Amino acid sequence: MRFILLTVAMIVAAAVLHQFLPWWAVWCAGLLIGLLLKDEKVLMTFFIGFLGAAILWGGYAFWLNSGNDGIMASRIGALFGGLGAMTLISLTALFGGLFGGLGTLCAYYGRSLFNRSL
């Protein structure tokens, strides 16, 4: 249950930050959500950020593609050697997920850096 709530929080935080910041807003959202993940393991921390950002970017890319009947995706796909629209949407979701996951990992490791007992 906590996993789902944190993933939804990641999606909402990234969507709100994207209203004011450019593409790297998903990394900032991952950083904010990563600070909330005190008891999670490293892989789970990355996966929460990855899944939230991938759903947001993939869903938004799919919504934009549906709105113009795939014209833009087919033209961009032609520039990249004939890639299809769903391949481009999947790549967009993959890159968004990587940015979100790396943001949560930065917060995780940053917090552990300052919580070390000397």
* Per-residue pLDDT tens digits of the chain, which is 118 residues long: 888 999 999 999 999 999 999 989 999 999 999 888 877 788 999 999 999 999 999 999 999 999 988 888 888 888 988 888 899 999 999 999 999 999 999 999 888 888 765 4
Domain range for 45? 2-114
Is the distance from CB of 26 to CB of 18 less than 8 angstroms? Answer: yes
Phi/psi at 80 (5° precision) = -100, 35
- Name the domain count of the chain: 1
pLDDT score for 29: 93
pLDDT score for 117: 54
Q: 65: which 2 tokens?
A: 């593609």
Distance from C-alpha of 105 to C-alpha of 7, rounded to nearest angstrom: 14
- pTM for this entry: 0.88
Question: SS3 sequence, the chain?
Answer: CHHHHHHHHHHHHHHHHCCCCCCCHHHHHHHHHHHHCCCCCHHHHHHHHHHHHHHHHHHHHHHHHHHCCCHHHHHHHHHCCCCCHHHHHHHHHHHHHHHHHHHHHHHHHHHHHHCCCC
Closest CA to 112 of 49, 40, 44, 53: 40
pLDDT score for 100: 94
pLDDT score for 103: 93
